[in-house]
């Protein structure tokens, strides 16, 4: 039987959601149905040891409980409604996280754009359910379609923002928590690990619209309704915004994706300071199918980097004399993994920044300075 896996945005339907990425079995060895009975003294001894909580598992459990206590008051449940003629409406359910910014005073909810976009511009059709039961509406909304991030300005007392973490320091195998409202079940927490980094080309919506695809992959249970909720590290800080799952049936299968916090923070800062995200621009068409065979033809021993197929005229790339078949190996000191990685590195750079790129040209490395400009409208 053929199995088809789809990429789904996790915005909503009901199943209980508190998972740990691993199962526990109480069954005896080899399918045995007979239990080993303990006498009263043996049972009492085991209970005393368990009550003492003297184990690494108990220590881990206490740390996780502390994280949940400090984080969950800043996690919100979001409902948005889109009216349909004559009297119908469509509901979108997701999650969000209370954050702050140095760029603008105030309190803000960060979520996925797809959670609230269909309800705009009617702010009253967006309901934010706080952890203490209050329901509020946003005063203002900023959105960025290219990263699927939205920022909602709110006014409410006793809201404690979460703290920003550094997603660049995440390593595969790190333990993370996914928080939010799976299937509308608010204040839910699941646990897993970072399964991979730098995931891209996931087929989320229109690839040309969701420009910044640099996802963290996790096996922490993420389900419809988790969209916009936080991915949290063991320091209790925000490391990502949960946004999508790979699934054959619409529910969690251990493959979820989050937008890295450093990208989220950059987008949020620009939205609050400028009203939109000012993305730097290089001005090249890249090879999305650059593989090992193509790399070998250029005398490269591996397919890392981003190969240039075309240099657009009157762009920073043209002015810096980048050429067809150049392979960009490094961008401003960072090794380039592929075309999506380069797109993200460029778009996260400041407009007007002078950067150094290392390219592979005619069998050798060449360093070139590029003066980045702002990304023009409708550019790829």
Catalytically active residues, by annotation: 114, 148, 227
**Dihedral sign, CA of 129, 105, 264, 143?**
positive
How far apart are the C-alpha atoms of 300 and 288, rounded to whole Å?
17
Pair of tokens at residue 170: 């995440």
Pair of tokens at residue 223: 């389900």
* Residue 149 near residue 101 (C-beta atoms within 8 A): no
364 three-class SS: strand
First to last CA, the chain: 38
How far apart are the C-alpha atoms of 349 and 272, rounded to whole Å?
17
* Residue 190 near residue 16 (C-beta atoms within 8 A): no
How far apart are the C-alpha atoms of 36 and 338, rounded to whole Å?
56
Output phi, psi for 341, to 5 deg.
-65, -40
CB atoms within 10 A of CB 270: 18
* Residue 110 near residue 268 (C-beta atoms within 8 A): yes
DSSP string, 259-288: EEHHHHHHHHHHHHHHSS---EE--EEE-T
């Amino acid at each position: 039987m053929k199995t088809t896996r789809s990429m789904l945005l996790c915005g909503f339907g009901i199943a209980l959601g508190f998972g740990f990425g691993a199962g526990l079995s109480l069954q005896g060895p080899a399918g045995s149905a007979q239990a080993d009975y303990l006498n009263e003294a043996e049972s009492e001894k085991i209970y005393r040891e368990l009550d003492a909580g003297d184990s690494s598992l108990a220590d881990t459990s206490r740390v996780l409980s502390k994280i949940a206590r400090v984080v969950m008051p800043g996690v919100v449940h979001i409902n948005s409604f889109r009216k349909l003629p004559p009297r119908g409406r469509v509901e979108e359910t997701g999650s969000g996280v209370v954050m702050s910014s140095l760029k603008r005073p105030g309190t803000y909810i960060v979520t996925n754009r797809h959670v609230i976009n269909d309800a705009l511009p009617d702010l009253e059709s967006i309901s934010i359910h706080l952890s203490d039961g209050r329901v509020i509406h946003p005063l203002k909304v900023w959105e960025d379609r290219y990263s699927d991030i939205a920022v909602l300005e709110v006014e409410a007392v006793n809201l404690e923002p979460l703290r920003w973490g550094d997603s660049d320091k995440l390593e595969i195998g790190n333990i993370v928590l996914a928080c939010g409202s799976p299937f509308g079940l608010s204040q839910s927490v699941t646990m897993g690990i970072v399964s991979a980094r730098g995931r891209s080309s996931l087929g989320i919506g229109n690839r040309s619209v969701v420009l910044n695809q640099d996802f963290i992959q996790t096996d922490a249970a993420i389900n419809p309704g988790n969209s916009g909720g936080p991915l949290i590290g063991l320091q209790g800080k925000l490391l990502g915004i949960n946004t999508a799952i790979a699934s054959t049936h619409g529910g969690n299968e251990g493959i979820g994706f989050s937008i890295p916090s450093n990208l989220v923070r950059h987008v949020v800062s620009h939205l609050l300071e400028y009203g939109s995200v000012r993305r730097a621009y290089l001005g090249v068409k890249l090879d999305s199918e650059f593989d090992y065979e193509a790399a070998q033809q250029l005398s490269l021993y591996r397919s890392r980097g981003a190969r240039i197929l075309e240099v657009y005229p009157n762009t920073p790339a043209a002015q810096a004399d980048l050429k067809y078949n150049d392979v960009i190996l490094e961008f401003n000191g960072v090794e380039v993994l592929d075309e999506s990685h380069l797109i993200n590195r460029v778009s996260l750079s400041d407009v007007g920044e002078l950067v150094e790129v290392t390219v592979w040209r005619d069998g050798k490395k060449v360093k070139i300075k590029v003066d980045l400009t702002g990304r023009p409208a409708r550019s790829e």
